[in-house]
Structure 1
Amino acid sequence: MTTASAEHRAHFDFTISFANGGGLSGDAFRLDLPRPELGADEIGTLLVHHLGLALVSSVELTNLRVVEEPHRGSRGVDAPARQASRVIDLSHPIEAGLVTYPGLPAPTITSHLTREASRAKYAPGTEFAMDIITMIGNTGTYLDAPFHRYAEGGDLASLDLATLVGLPAEVFHLQDAWSQERRGIDAATLADRDLRGAAVLLDTGWSRFFGTPEYGHGAPFLTEAGARFLVDAGVALVGIDSLNIDDTESGGERPAHSILLAAGVHVVEHLTRLADVPARGARFTAAPPAVHGFGTFPVRAFATVGDPR
């Protein structure tokens, strides 16, 4: 059954002819739809707009079918109107013993003051618990500041909150756009949108393995060319629901970290639930504590969707 808030996409093959000669064709193309009842002519017009084509004389669609499927951010299709605001938590909870990245220490949580011991310090009926957590900054869902990569880069305390709170989110739903043979997310995959000032969030589906041995091997990543493209596009932040923004299985080089952090673009790793966030229209927040001399720390990352009023 189709729900009122469901999103739809058209699947089709196409042939486009140009008025000044030549043509373009494609197989198994997919396109976001603003509503499911559009006809072939209207979908053809959307296709032309999405591809940014000029001087088109005709569009022919074949094997057309419309399916209920989350939007991927096709140009010319606005985010669906939503009646109520909601907040989507995109962070992994932290607990003692959590393995975020293979080989890094897991957090430990101990008591500084137990509730039982506190009763001797406060009035009758009043008690508190005070606990100590020991963890590496690379725990759970965390943000990298430039200092993480560069000794002279800005630390967590130097970050401008305006670059961390309420950023327009551009979510690339890429679960069917990469494979074990081609794990890198390249520039061409990200080139169909205006990304200036945005938080670009890469939904690869890898977070389903978080906390398991499978999480540490074969993970998708952002290529060097993809990182350069995003810097040139003027993005504010790049997040991924994977083990690392870089390919950790290609040696010690970390081109995505190096390029993004050198340009002052924040990096958030180990996100989750990105599939629940629409391709466009949400706002993203991921703010760490202001710690001097620290380059990485967990964040409570979340997306706000809909009208907050």
Structure 2
Amino acid sequence: MKNVTMKDIADKLNISTVTVSKALSDKDGVSEELKNRIKKVSEEMGYRYNVLAKSMKEGKSYNVGIVIADRFIRDDGDAFYLKMYQSVVKSLSKAGYYGIMEIINHEQEKNIILPSVIQNNKVDGVIILGQMSYEYVSSINNRGIPLVFLDFYDELLEVDSLVSDSFYGSYILTNHLIAQGHRNIGFVGNILSTSSILDRYLGYYKSLLSNGIPLREEWVIADRSEDGTYIEIEFPKEMPTAFVCNNDGVAYLLINKLKKNGYRVPEDISVVGFDNYIFATISNPKLTTVEVDITVMSDEAVKAIVGKINNANYRIGRVVINGKLIIRDSVKKIN
């Protein structure tokens, strides 16, 4: 079977090889519609980039570093960030890039030991997946390499970021609980740990304010330390009738602890999560939650990093991706 060339693709689409080359290299001069069509046909025909020759010619590696803190790659089965990583790699592949993951441990982050892919100039740009300390991410930013934050943002840095709509998602979750008759509602998550948890807390708080419900500080319960290490959830003396959790994994752990303490879910206490990932469906009962669109977030992050690699002035600011409410079995309607 002969190798497919750009001329073969051009002949099939009745266009010039120059147009094919521009489309496959993500250069200007080709409409997005035609560019996507060319990429689809090239993939169907089995065309493969000569990445080595291309990188030598253009002075690029066509590698993107995907940096993640090891606290997000846990042994308890929560694979949300691994799923997002896989989605990012698929999006990078479609754009003609390879993704190289580097996991950063607590000591590396604390001592500002930068990822080896950056130190050794192995990548054209970096996507940081999940929040890391300001000192660490600012040190990466100071290297001047194209950089995108995925699933978090930092108010102190002007770095492009892609986030789910944590504020509105938590707001509609809390409103759903209130619509089911709940007025004693707690929140589980350390609001000082990540920007997304803070936004989810603020969405919860806004819902309470909008409905004339006072915030009870003893019902805002930490699930982790400020550096992201998970801790034992401590129940208040007086329990609310419902909890808003900052993610599905925490909701799953909370439900198990409630059961061990003699509470029934949702008969005694209702629980909602966030993400609509694996824990939402293996939980008993299945979780009412907000779905995060991982595919759209990954595609937009890759579009941003490729844009920044090709144009030093390319900016997207902070892009917020909407989620949707998924209603299951973990909420009871009360009088």
TM-score normalised over the length of structure 1:
0.23
* Structure possessing the higher relative contact order (Cα contacts under 8 Å, 6 or more residues apart): 1
Q: Which has the higher strand share?
A: 1
Q: Which has the higher helix share?
A: 2
TM-score normalised over the length of structure 2:
0.22
